[in-house]
Amino acid sequence: MEQTILKQALWTVLAPLVAALLAGIAGKQIGKRGAHGVTITGVAIATWYSLQILVALLNQDSDLNFNFSLYTWADIAPLHFEIGFMLDRLTAVMMLVVSSVSLMVHIYSMGYMQTDPGYQRFFCYISLFTFAMLVLVMANNFLQLFFGWEAVGLMSYLLIGFWHQRETAVYANLKAFLVNRVGDFGFLLGIAGILYLTKSLDYATVFANLPANAAAAPLFHLTATWSVSLIDLSCLLLFMGAMGKSAQIPLHVWLPDSMEGPTPISALIHAATMVTAGVFMLARLSPIFEYSAVTLNFILIIGAMTCFFMGLIGLVSHDIKRIIAYSTLSQLGYMMVACGASAYGIAVFHLMTHAFFKALLFLGAGSVIIAVHHQQDIWKMGGLRHALPITYSCMLIGTLALVGVPFLSGFYSKESIIEVVKYSDLPAASWAYCAVLSSVLITSLYSFRLLFVVFHGSSRGTASDAKHLHKSAWPIWAPLVALAIPSIGIGGYFIHWLMDNFFGTAIFIAPTHTNYQTFASHFSGWLAMGLHGLVSLPFALVLLGAAISWLLYVKCPQLPAKLAQLFKPLYWLLQHKYGFDLFNQWVLMPMTRGLGWICWRIGDKTLIDGLMVNGSARMINRLGKMMRTVQSGYIYHYALAMVLGLLILLLWLKR
């Protein structure tokens, strides 16, 4: 069985890589049809074998895992660096989510990108991204994790700036790259801290050796009762990497601007896979984070802030893709809150359901954008539900799943997060519970606002008129239908497994953190949970948000402008995204440029070029001139110098 699993794992990770190389190197020779054919085939193979691995693990004990070592990358005693796979149920779920969503995006891109001159390059990039993401989730050591981590960052940079002719796209991909470098710097330091603690980068070795080091002496004290140890510092630095990759405050600023990339990229990278890499990393490293109460509280605070405050910005955004992007930020906050509450399995559960319905919403938005000739302002749309019935139906399903309507997939994962945070006894849990509960209302407001403005009412521009609409081809609407199915039913199907210790030992929860077990003890089945959800406070908030959105954008469409004027300071603050971008542009960027100028002027030009390189050359030149004065060319001068030197040597020896 092990050899079969290993072969399937190799097929899973190598098929997208080979396909990407073929599309990239031989793109002109195989043409557009060959490019999308080979990459779709490669990702389909990865999806099939991911499913096979998951089924095989489901038929075994939940604690079973396969830890394969493929080859030794470096052996620097006493350190041993290997490349390999760790395959358990956590890995298998992520593999299937990544590959299946990627497959839908590949098929969708056939229609969305059909007229783009960079067609082959696009398919090469998204297939390479799939390969990098699979390497990340299948890694069995920190070295390979970091390789995949940086590779998805590189592919994100290339895909956000895919339309590099646009100045805004170049600005966006540089912003994403630089902000992620800040997080990755902390991430690398965190890995170094783990290496120092355990003398290994192999997951199994680290997890086995860590408990002995977890109670190390504190580095410094925060209060009389709270201190920070080396394990706390390492976990905080690791989470810093997750803050960058999963766009948490204050490293969230890159994700909304990343909407400059093609819409399939928004669905693939910034809704379903790359931004959830941080959540997966926290779940994978749960045996480490469970030993750091300081970090768990910090994760709760950051996740709750992102969940609440980023959702508010979605209420004032006009760009259809950016509204969904801010929704992604908010939902990532939910996942981080779950991790902070030690409910890593529920965080991965929401990651999975969110991947399907958020990809559905992004691809649905792309279908709308194509129909209205690439117009993205929702206020220039309207009345599209009759002209785009399939898109409307699918986006309605995605919206209901997102807001958490009972019996849809998003309800089970989001409701689970709210409940498990309520039972947590961490100091930051009370604040986090209020934030995630309030965010239910905010999510309902911006979600139904988008749905009502785009699909209901009358047309607000010529692009939305029925006679001017561009109908979507089957590669556009077929993935929407395929993604709508798991958006409806996967939550109720999976939650039974989750409550039955689905992930086994792949996820570790400290015995002192009992909130997950408390929540599981109250679970009575998907039907009972759904029925209870109909009379719960979160569903009441969903209905309230839908009613307010209907009143503001359907019944009395003049009210939003009056409210914006009435709450002008708050509206200005939300429109300017709390001033994060302004602070970065007016404070951090000048400081960074100033520091760069100092390093160049003093460090590079004065010290390195001036003193070390040119200075050493000038010193040798002067020394050569001095030596040249004693080179007279007369033999008697040299003889005299030799005699004098010999006399001095004899006198020194005689002394």
Report pLDDT digits (tens) over 642-653.
Answer: 888 888 888 887
DSSP 8-state symbol, 406: T
Q: Token match 């054919």: residue? A: 37
What contacts 24+ positions apart, CB below 8 Å, involve 372-376?
Answer: 372/461, 372/463, 372/464, 372/469, 372/470, 373/463, 373/468, 373/470, 375/461, 375/463, 375/464, 376/319, 376/320, 376/321
pLDDT at 274: 78
Residue type, 334: Y
Q: How far apart are CA 244 and CA 275, in angstroms?
A: 9
Q: How far apart are CA 62 and CA 53, in angstroms?
A: 13
Give the angle 90-84-151 at the CA atoms, nearest 5°. 80
pLDDT tens-digit profile of 542-587? Answer: 999 999 999 999 888 889 888 888 888 999 999 888 888 888 888 8
CA 480 → CA 321, 399, 484, distances in Å? Answer: 16, 13, 6
pLDDT at 475 exceeding the cut of 90: no
Residue 509 CB-density burial (10 A; 0-12 exposed, 13-18 middle, 19+ buried) = middle
pLDDT at 589 exceeding the cut of 90: no
- In the three-class reduction of DSSP (H, G, I as helix; E, B as strand; rest coil), residue 67 is classed as strand
pLDDT at 598 exceeding the cut of 70: yes
Q: Token match 């977890």: residue? A: 214
- In the three-class reduction of DSSP (H, G, I as helix; E, B as strand; rest coil), residue 262 is classed as coil
pLDDT at 260: 84
- In the three-class reduction of DSSP (H, G, I as helix; E, B as strand; rest coil), residue 341 is classed as coil
Using the Cα atoms of residue 647, residue 653, residue 654 and residue 655 in order, give the sign of their dihedral.
Answer: positive
Q: How far apart are CA 606 and CA 614, in angstroms?
A: 10
CA 315 → CA 324, 349, 547, 566, 578, distances in Å? Answer: 11, 26, 15, 15, 13
- Confidence grade of residue 169 (pLDDT, cut at 50, 70, 90): confident
- Confidence grade of residue 220 (pLDDT, cut at 50, 70, 90): low
Residue type, 483: L
Q: How far apart are CA 98 and CA 653, in angstroms?
A: 81
Q: Where are the alpha helices (DSSP H) in 341-473?
A: 344-371, 389-403, 409-422, 429-455
- Kindly state the average pLDDT of the residues 435-445: 94
Q: Which stretch of 266-270, 388-392, 546-550, 602-606 has the lowest confidence by average pLDDT?
A: 266-270
pLDDT at 269 exceeding the cut of 60: yes
- Kindly state the average pLDDT of the residues 592-601: 86
pLDDT at 259: 84
Q: How far apart are CA 147 and CA 526, in angstroms?
A: 39
- Kindly state the average pLDDT of the residues 292-315: 92
Specify the DSSP element, H or E, that contains 83.
Answer: strand 79-87
Residues contacting 239, CB < 8 A, separation 6+: 190, 282, 289, 295, 298, 299, 302
Compute how many other C-beta atoms are within 10 angstroms of the C-beta atom of residue 518.
Answer: 13
Give the dihedral of Cα atoms 219, 223, 225, 227; nearest 10 deg: -20
- Kindly state the average pLDDT of the residues 341-369: 90
- Confidence grade of residue 461 (pLDDT, cut at 50, 70, 90): low
- Confidence grade of residue 465 (pLDDT, cut at 50, 70, 90): low
pLDDT at 310: 92
pLDDT at 214: 65
Tallying the residues shown for the chain, one arrives at 655
- Confidence grade of residue 271 (pLDDT, cut at 50, 70, 90): low
- Confidence grade of residue 485 (pLDDT, cut at 50, 70, 90): very high
DSSP 8-state symbol, 263: H
The residues spanned by each domain of the chain are 1-210, 580-654
Q: How far apart are CA 574 and CA 451, in angstroms?
A: 21
Q: Which of 117, 158, 127 is nearest to 28 (CA)?
A: 117
pLDDT at 297 exceeding the cut of 90: yes
pLDDT at 439: 94
Q: How far apart are CA 126 and CA 262, in angstroms?
A: 11
| Higher-scoring residue by pLDDT: 69, 437 | 437
Compute how many other C-beta atoms are within 10 angstroms of the C-beta atom of residue 284.
Answer: 25
Q: How far apart are CA 370 and CA 476, in angstroms?
A: 10
Q: How far apart are CA 189 and CA 198, in angstroms?
A: 14
Compute how many other C-beta atoms are within 10 angstroms of the C-beta atom of residue 29.
Answer: 9
Number of H helices, E strands in the chain: 28, 4
Structure tokens at 198: 């355990």
Q: Token match 């299948």: residue? A: 138
pLDDT at 229 exceeding the cut of 90: no
pLDDT at 272 exceeding the cut of 60: no
Specify the DSSP element, H or E, that contains 84.
Answer: strand 79-87
Cβ atoms 276, 217 nearer than 8 A: no
pLDDT at 236: 93
pLDDT at 224 exceeding the cut of 80: no
Identify any residues that bridge with 82 across adjacent strands, giving them in sequence order.
72
The β-bridge relationship of strands 227-228 and 220-221 is: antiparallel
Q: How far apart are CA 188 and CA 237, in angstroms?
A: 8
Q: What is the residue-averaged pLDDT of the chain?
A: 87
Backbone angles phi and psi of 614, in degrees to 5: -70, -35
Q: How far apart are CA 405 and CA 539, in angstroms?
A: 7
Residue type, 474: W
Q: How far apart are CA 237 and CA 355, in angstroms?
A: 26
Q: How far apart are CA 587 and CA 581, in angstroms?
A: 10
Q: How far apart are CA 282 and CA 126, in angstroms?
A: 25
Give percent of the chain with pLDDT exceeding 90: 39
pLDDT at 226: 65
pLDDT at 238: 94
pLDDT at 458: 77
